[in-house]
């Protein structure tokens, strides 16, 4: 026995939870080259963020403590090609149907051959507007929504951990322009070094965090509880 922190989780109230998870698993297994994922990461504020890095012994890097939030926030609208293992996206001032549709169009442009594609995303109301559904139907884009409180089933979630670690942690960006440049610099490096051991280790830690907190397999069923 060890002294541990108590953890909580929310159980999905959706009656079709299993059906949605089954569909996500099906498209991931059957169409690996035509699967994509989309989600928003944020809010991203302008503040000093703790982290770790190399420094002279006894002289750690110091960041000023600030309690002023005069720059507002941004949301990173991220798109992930599962088959190509490529991550891209843009910062927006807010979430919304228009920004979601713009991201979906960039995903469709990644496979311009007109064949069906599949986009995994959470069930935020801005993702399910009538204009988005109409556009998706016309352009052969199937929207695979994760159940409520089951955003961990979205494959892009594991890539937000490294994004946070390598571009937000241990930072002191003066404004959103500099912060955005840092995000895009990481994305360029990450896509050129997708199999780098540091990236893979950060992704494994993020997936392990999901499994540990949820007690379930990635995109699957609840793990058997020990006797």
Cα–Cα distances in Å, from 204 out to 129, 170, 195, 207?
34, 21, 12, 5
The whole-number pLDDT of residue 66 equals 66
The whole-number pLDDT of residue 214 equals 55
- Asked if residue 101 lies in contact with residue 119, where contact means CB atoms within 8 angstroms, the answer is no
Q: Mean pLDDT for each 10-residue chunk of the chain (227 residues)?
A: 76 85 92 93 78 76 70 90 92 91 95 94 92 96 91 87 82 84 92 86 79 50 43
- Asked if residue 25 lies in contact with residue 220, where contact means CB atoms within 8 angstroms, the answer is yes
The whole-number pLDDT of residue 224 equals 44
The whole-number pLDDT of residue 226 equals 41
**Structural domains present in the chain:** 17-44+70-214 (3.30.420.10)
The whole-number pLDDT of residue 7 equals 66
In whole angstroms, what is the distance from residue 23 CA to residue 144 CA? 7
Query: Is-above-0.75 flag for pTM?
Result: yes
The whole-number pLDDT of residue 9 equals 64
The whole-number pLDDT of residue 208 equals 76
The whole-number pLDDT of residue 223 equals 42
| Cis, peptide link before residue 211, omega less than 30° from 0 | no
């Amino acid at each position: 026995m060890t002294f541990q922190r108590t953890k909580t989780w929310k159980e999905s109230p959706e009656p079709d939870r299993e059906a949605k998870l089954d569909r996500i698993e099906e498209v991931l297994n059957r169409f690996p080259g035509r699967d994509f994922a989309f989600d928003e990461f944020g809010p991203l504020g302008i503040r000093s963020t703790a982290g770790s890095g190399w420094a002279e012994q006894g002289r750690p890097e110091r960041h000023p403590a600030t309690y002023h939030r005069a720059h507002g926030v941004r949301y990173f609208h991220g798109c992930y090609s599962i088959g190509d293992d490529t991550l891209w996206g843009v910062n927006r001032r807010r979430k919304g149907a228009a920004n979601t549709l713009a991201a979906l169009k960039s995903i469709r442009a990644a496979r311009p051959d007109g064949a069906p594609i599949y986009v995994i995303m959470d069930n935020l109301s801005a993702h399910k507007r009538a204009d988005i559904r109409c556009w998706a139907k016309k352009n052969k884009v199937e929207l695979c929504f994760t159940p409520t409180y089951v955003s961990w089933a979205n494959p892009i979630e594991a890539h937000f951990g490294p994004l946070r670690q390598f571009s937000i942690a241990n930072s002191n960006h003066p404004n959103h322009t500099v912060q955005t440049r840092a995000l895009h610099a990481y994305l360029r490096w990450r896509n050129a070094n997708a199999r780098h051991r540091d990236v893979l280790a950060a992704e494994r830690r993020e997936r392990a965090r999901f499994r540990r907190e949820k007690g379930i397999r990635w995109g699957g069923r609840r793990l058997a509880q020990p006797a």
